[in-house]
Amino acid sequence: MGAFSIENARVFDGERLSEPRSVHVVDGLITEEPGADSETVDAAGAVLLPGLIDAHVHISDPEQARTLAHWGVTTALDMGAKDPGVIEATRGVAGGSDVRSAGFPAGPPHGTHIARLGFPESVGISGPDEAEAWVAARVAEGSDYIKVLLEPEIPQQPKPLQPETAAAIVRAAHAAGKKVIAHTTTGRTAEIAVASGVDAFTHTPLGDVLGVEFAREVASRGVIAIPTLSMMNAMATDWPFPVRPPGVSFENCLQSLRNLRAAGVTIVAGTDANTNPATPASPPPGESLHTEFELMGQAGVTPVESLRAATSTAADFFGLADRGRIQPGLRADLVLVDGDPTVDISATRAIRGVWIAGERVR
């Protein structure tokens, strides 16, 4: 892999911004000292960030890995893949983002993920007595964490995953050493998720607001929130269903995030980026993480908080101890940007260079 040094860079190390200094890389890792015959990259005062982490994507094409990397997303966390083979192929893409995956998500037989999104019927789960075997199957398939789909009850639609089944999945996953992330799109499903013991929930509701008391409960349990404002804003802007219920508004999502943040809930950045035409909306892989930062700002999240949510905080939650920060011994996943994203978050778009494990990919 060789050695190089990025000199004269203001370094956001995952927590705070430094004065200009040098960062050394040898054989894909950040080091204290430069290596022999180290090449030099002059940052000329630009800001060096840890590689960005998008904590909610859906991979359906291995080429998405390169697109993600182009936008500085050096780690992508897939939250439900209907074809595990695509995930494996993505992991082999040279110059692509490092991808982790939930594999198949847990949902009811004949649920939306099966009927509309093309997941195999075999991954439906009918009740709590099936939870242990279901989780064991995902672990055997290589799932890095477990995803559960908690949908609202809709007349004349298949019954959603029931609370007791969700709780049983959580128990089985935790026994297997896996974290559980819940898909929730309403206040009620978010309440079910938190009561079931999940580690995180993803999405903020368009039709109602996650209230102050609920936000305090989330904080007290140490549950993480992944708001996916990019997806929610796209849906609110171009409603994808035949009937738009009264009260649907992106402002509900922003207010939910304000309440969660005020209560001290840890926020991790994720977009729901995908290229699947069957989904309600398709935030573009990579670019949408920069949109996510800007939308988070509308809810009062500071630029530094947004950067942490896509670097150190995301790495900590998902157990990615080798990345998310710029410090000796960690992977050299790095993004060099013009401007100061700790003041103006839109500067994350002004990318001058991207490195993944020490290899320059942009």
What type of residue is 77? L
Percentage with pLDDT > 90 across the chain: 90
Over residues 44-63, the pLDDT tens digits come to 999 999 999 999 999 999 99
Percentage with pLDDT > 70 across the chain: 100
Q: Which residues contact 219 (CB under 8 A, 6 or more apart)?
A: 260, 263, 264, 265
Q: How confident is the model at residue 115 (pLDDT cuts 50, 70, 90)?
A: confident
Tokens of 139: 């672990």
Q: What are the start-end ranges of the H helices in the chain?
A: 64-70, 84-91, 112-115, 131-141, 163-175, 187-196, 212-221, 229-237, 250-263, 287-298, 303-309, 312-317
| Structural domains of the chain, ranges and CATH numbers in brackets | 3-48+324-360 (2.30.40.10), 52-317 (3.20.20.140)
pTM of the model as a whole = 0.97
Residue 235: helix, strand or coil by DSSP? Answer: helix
Q: How confident is the model at residue 111 (pLDDT cuts 50, 70, 90)?
A: confident
Question: If 0-12 CB within 10 Å is exposed, 13-18 middle and 19+ buried, where does residue 243 land?
Answer: exposed
User: In angstroms, rounded to a whole number, what is the distance separating the alpha carbons of residues 279 and 96?
Assistant: 24
Q: How confident is the model at residue 153 (pLDDT cuts 50, 70, 90)?
A: confident
* Sheet of 73-78, strand order: 52-57, 73-78, 98-101
Q: Which of 210, 237, 242, 248 is closest to 291 using CA atoms?
A: 237
47, 340 Cβ separation under 8 angstroms:
yes
Q: What is the pLDDT of residue 274?
A: 97
Over residues 171-220, the pLDDT tens digits come to 999 999 999 999 999 999 999 999 999 999 999 999 999 999 999 999 99
Q: Which of 163, 168, 226 is closest to 195 using CA atoms?
A: 163
Window from 109-113, 182-186, 280-284, 343-347 with minimum mean pLDDT? 109-113
Averaged pLDDT for residues 127-145: 98
Q: What is the pLDDT of residue 174?
A: 99
Averaged pLDDT for residues 329-358: 99
